[in-house]
A and B are shown apart, each in its own frame.
Chain A
Amino acid sequence: MKIAYSHLAQSILEKPTIEQISDSLFQLGHEHEIDGSIFDIEFTPNRGDCLSLDGLLRDLAVFYTVEFNRDIYTEKLDDFLIDFENLSKSICPKISFLKLEIEEIPEVYKNTLNNYFKELSLNRNNFFTDVSNYLSYETGQPTHCYDAGKITGKLLFHEMENDKEFETLLDTKINLTGKNSVFSLNNEVINLAGVVGGKSTSCSKDTKVVIVECAFFQPEAIIGKSVKYDIQSEASHKFERGVDPECHDQVLRRFINIVNEHSNIKNMSIFSYNSLENSTHQIPINVKKINQVIGIDVSKEKYTNYLTKLGFVFEGEFVKVPSFRSDVKTQNDLAEEIARVIGYDNIPRVEINIPKSEKLNHKAIEKKLKYFLLDNGFYEVINPPFVSLNSDKSIKVDNPLDSNRKFLRTNITNSLLDNLLFNERRQKDSIKLFEISDIYSSNGGIHKKRKLSLIASGRVGLDYINFSKKVNLKYISSLFKQIFPEEVFDFKILSRDSLDTKIKNEIIALEVDIDQFSNDILAYKEISSPPKNFNQYRPISDLPSSFKDISFSLNDYSKMKDLQDLLLNYKSNIVKDVFVFDYFSNEKTEQIKIGFRFVFQSKKITLTAAEIDVVYNEIINKTLRIEGITIPGMQETP
Chain B
Amino acid sequence: MSIHKDIPPPELKKDRGSLHPINHMKDSIMNLLTSFGFEIVEGPEIETEEFNFDMLNIKKSHPARQMHDTFYIEKKSNLLRTHTSPVQIRGMLQKKPPLAFISGGKVYRKDDDATHLPMFHQVEGIYVDEVVSFAQLKDLIYKIIYSLFGSDIELRFRPSYFPFTEPSAEVDILSKEGKWLEILGCGLVNPIVLENCNIDSTKYSGLAFGLGIERIAMLKHGVTDIRDFYKSNLDFLNQFK
CB nearest neighbor in B for A331 = B191
B96 touches A (CB below 8 Å)? no
Say if the beta carbon of A114 comes within 8 Å of chain B.
no
User: With A240-B63, A382-B23, A537-B221 in contact, is A349–B157 under 8 Å at CB?
Assistant: no
Contact residues in A for B145 (Cβ distance below 8 Å): none
Q: Is the CB of A379 within 8 A of B13?
A: no
Q: Taking each of A352, A357, A374, A446, which has the highest tally of chain B beta carbons within 10 Å of its own beta carbon?
A: A352
A317 CB-CB contact with B under 8 Å? no
Q: A336-B166, A397-B73, A399-B71 are in contact. Are A465 and B12 (CB under 8 A)?
A: yes
A34 to B128, CA, bound (A): 40
Which chain A residues border B10 with CB–CB below 8 Å? 464, 560, 564, 580, 583, 594
Closest Cβ–Cβ distance, residue A507 to chain B (whole Å): 15
Query: 1/0 per position for B25-45, CB-CB distance to A under 8 A?
Result: 101100000101111100011
**Docked pose: A397 CA to B236 CA in angstroms:** 30
Q: Given the interface contacts A356-B37, A384-B118, does A227 sit within 8 Å of B158 by beta carbon? A: no
Say which size band chain A's interface belongs to. Answer: 35 or more
* Residues of B89-124 whose CB lies within 8 A of A: 98, 100, 110, 112, 117-119
Smallest beta-carbon distance A53→chain B, Å: 21
Query: Could you tell me the distance between the alpha carbons of A336 and B169 in the complex, rounded to whole angstroms?
Result: 10
Q: Is the CB of B19 within 8 A of A396?
A: no
Q: Are A463 and B159 in contact (CB under 8 A)?
A: no
B44, A448: Cβ atoms under 8 Å?
yes
Nearest CB in chain A: distance from B151 CB, A: 13
Complex alpha-carbon distance, A466 and B233, angstroms: 22
A347 within 8 A of B: yes
Known: A357-B100, A380-B17, A583-B9. A347 touches B135 (CB 8 A): yes
**Known: A332-B190, A531-B24. Contact between A374 and B15, CB under 8 A?**
no
Q: Which B residues lie within 8 Å of A440 (CB)?
A: 45-46
CB < 8 Å: which of B16, B74, B223 contacts A374? Answer: B16
- B contacts with A, residue count (CB < 8 A): 100
Whether A557 contacts B12 in the complex (CB less than 8 A), given A293-B205, A345-B156, A423-B232, comes out as no
Chain B 161-194, CB-CB to A under 8 Å as 1, else 0, gives: 1000011110000000000000000001011100
List B contacts of A352 (CB < 8 A): 127, 136-137, 139-140, 143
The one of A381, A557, A561 in contact with B3, judged by C-beta atoms closer than 8 angstroms, is A557
B20 in contact with A29 (CB, 8 Å): no
- Nearest B residue to A399 via CB reads B67
How near does chain A come to B234, taking the closest CB pair, in angstroms? 5
Cβ contacts under 8 Å, A122 to chain B: none
B78 at the interface (CB under 8 A from A): yes
- Are A531 and B135 within 8 A (Cβ)? no
Question: Is A348 close to B, CB under 8 A?
Answer: yes
The verdict on A383 contacting B232 (CB below 8 Å), with A340-B159, A362-B40, A399-B110 known, is: yes
Number of A-B contacts (CB under 8 A): 286
Please give, as numbers and ranges, the residues of chain B lying within 8 Å of A244 by CB-CB distance.
none
- Select from chain A the residue with minimum beta-carbon distance to B158: A29
Contact of B17 among A29, A379, A405 (CB under 8 A): A379
Contact A540–B236 (Cβ < 8 Å): yes
A220 touches B134 (CB 8 A): no
State whether B4 touches A587 (Cβ < 8 A).
yes
Q: Which residue of B lies closest to A219 (CB)?
A: B61
Given contacts A397-B72, A398-B76, are A336 and B168 in contact (CB under 8 A)?
yes
Check B15 against A292 for contact (C-beta < 8 Å).
no
Q: CA of A44 to CA of B127 in the docked complex: distance in angstroms?
A: 25
Tell me the bound Cα distance from A534 to B240 in angstroms: 8
A461 at interface, CB cutoff 8 A = yes
Cβ of B147 under 8 Å from chain A: no
Q: Would you call B134 and A293 a contact (CB within 8 A)?
A: yes
Q: Are B136 and A381 closer than 8 Å at their CB atoms? A: no
For residue A428, which residues in chain B have a CB less than 8 angstroms away from its CB? Answer: 234
Q: Nearest-CB distance from B208 to chain A (Å)?
A: 13
Task: Give which listed residue, B15, B40, B220, B235, contacts A540 with CB less than 8 A.
Answer: B235
Knowing A377-B16, A594-B10, say if A344 contacts B158 (CB, 8 Å).
Answer: yes
Chain A 344-388 interface 0/1 with B at a Cβ cutoff of 8 Å (1 = within): 110111111111111110100000001001111111111111100
- Given A332-B166, A352-B136, A419-B232, residue A223 in contact with residue B241 (CB < 8 A): no
Q: Which residues of A contact B222 (CB under 8 A)?
A: 536-537
Interface residue? A438 (CB, 8 A)? yes
Tell whether, in the assembled complex, residue B159 and residue A448 are in contact, meaning their CB atoms are under 8 Å apart: no
Give min CB distance, B196 to chain A, whole Å. 14
Q: Does the CB pair B239–A438 fall under 8 Å?
A: no
Who on chain B is nearest to A430 by CB? Answer: B15
Digitize B216-236: 1 where CB-to-A-CB distance is under 8 Å, 0 elsewhere: 000011111000011111111
Contacts of A401 in B (CB 8 A): 110, 112, 118
Taking a contact as CB atoms under 8 Å apart, the answer to whether B73 and A396 are in contact is yes
Given contacts A354-B37, A383-B232, A395-B46, contact A29 B160 (CB under 8 A): yes
Of B67, B230, B234, the most chain A CB neighbours within 10 A belong to B234
Q: Which residues of B contact A331 (CB under 8 A)?
A: 191
Which residues of B are found within 8 Å of A28, using beta-carbon distances? 159
Question: B235 to chain A: which residues have CB within 8 Å?
Answer: 426, 540-541
- Say if the beta carbon of A489 comes within 8 Å of chain B: no
Taking A379-B18, A448-B44 as contacts, is the C-beta distance between A294 and B135 under 8 angstroms?
yes
Is A399 touching B72 in the complex (CB atoms < 8 A)?
yes
The answer to whether B67 touches A355 (Cβ under 8 A) is: no
**Is the CB of A432 closer than 8 A to any CB of chain B?**
yes
A47-B23 contact given A426-B235, A557-B4, CB 8 Å threshold: no
Known A349-B139, A384-B118, A535-B239; judge A375-B16 contact (CB<8 A).
yes
**B15–A293 CB distance below 8 A:** no
A-B contact pairs, 14 of them (CB 8 A): A44-B159, A295-B136, A336-B168, A339-B159, A349-B139, A359-B34, A380-B19, A382-B20, A382-B22, A423-B233, A426-B233, A556-B3, A579-B13, A594-B10
B residues engaging A (CB < 8 A)?
2-4, 6-7, 9-10, 12-20, 22-25, 27-28, 34, 36-40, 44-46, 59-63, 66-68, 71-76, 78, 80, 98, 100, 110, 112, 117-119, 127, 129, 131, 133-140, 142-143, 156-161, 166-169, 188, 190-192, 205, 220-224, 229-241
**New A-B pairs, 15, CB < 8 Å, besides A219-B61, A349-B139, A354-B38:** A45-B63, A294-B135, A339-B159, A344-B138, A351-B139, A352-B143, A374-B17, A377-B15, A398-B71, A400-B71, A401-B112, A461-B14, A530-B19, A536-B222, A538-B239
